[in-house]
Amino acid sequence: MKKAMMILLAGAMLLAAFMILPIHGEAKLYDNVIRLHVLANSDSEEDQALKLRVRDAVLQKTDALLKDAASREEAAEILQASLGELEAVAKAAVADAGYGNAVTVTLSRESYPTRQYEQLAFPAGEYLSLRVMIGEAEGQNWWCVLFPPLCMTAATADRDTEALCLSAGLTGEQYRMIADTESTKYKLRFKILEVAEEIFQ
């Protein structure tokens, strides 16, 4: 009974949100983005440092792989075909650091909470995700947006974020939704989406 009431309440909230806050295309936003999720072996200082080394190696490789990808579908195909290569790169980074942890790299849909990256924020939801799992994968993890290539590294810091998003298929409204992180309208919409994601899982 309680769950049914919560579902009804969430439905009413969502309906009110869509009537009051006319922001369209969240689902399309999810379908235009690929996230990167790197999970450390543990929370030890050594494992967290190793996570960042693996992240850097994977980003260097994905930057090269995806530099000419014109759509999420094309980027996904490239990543799927390159999983073995990406896993080898991650394992090499682990070995070069003097560790023997196993590494697994997968491409699958994964639920994310609302997450802010530098000047952008992405709503909670299910996104296609490149997951790099180091060892037991039980430590603090690291997220970014792999496509469009928004992971902030030395190689990407000078890129035009808006142009990258629009070229990847996001609309101007979708870009404003993730870029206008101070807007009360967008913050409320993100929160409603996050609550709905939790209830309807």
pLDDT exceeds cutoff 50 at 34: yes
Q: How far, in Å, CA of 174 to CA of 178, rounded?
A: 7
> Is beta strand 125-134 parallel, antiparallel or unpaired with respect to 103-112?
antiparallel
pTM for this model (two decimals): 0.73
When pLDDT is averaged across residues 30-45 and rounded to a whole number, the result is: 93
State the SS3 of 113-125.
Answer: CCEEECCEEECCE
Measured at the alpha carbon of residue 71, what is the angle toward residues 66 and 74, in degrees to the nearest 5? 60
CB-neighbour burial class of residue 109 (10 A; exposed 0-12, middle 13-18, buried 19+): exposed
Average per-residue pLDDT in the chain? Answer: 79
DSSP labels for 6-39?
HHHHHHHHHHHHHHHS----HHHHHHT-EEEEEE
Q: What is the pLDDT of residues 86-103, one digit of tens each?
A: 999 999 999 999 999 999
The CA-atom distances, in angstroms, between 175 and each of 28, 101, 153, 195 are 12, 38, 21, 22
Whole-angstrom Cα distance, residue 84 to residue 62? 13
Q: Which residues contact 79 (CB under 8 A, 6 or more apart)?
A: 34, 62, 65, 66, 86, 107, 130, 146
In the prediction, which pLDDT does 198 show?
A: 53
Q: Is the peptide bond before 113 cis (omega within 30 degrees of 0)?
A: no
Which residue has 């209830």 as its token pair?
199
Condensed to tens digits (0 to 9), the pLDDT of residues 106-147 reads 999 999 887 776 677 788 888 999 999 999 999 999 988 899
User: Please, where are the H alpha helices in 71-167?
Assistant: 72-81, 83-96, 161-167
Residue 147: CB atoms within 10 A of its CB come to: 26
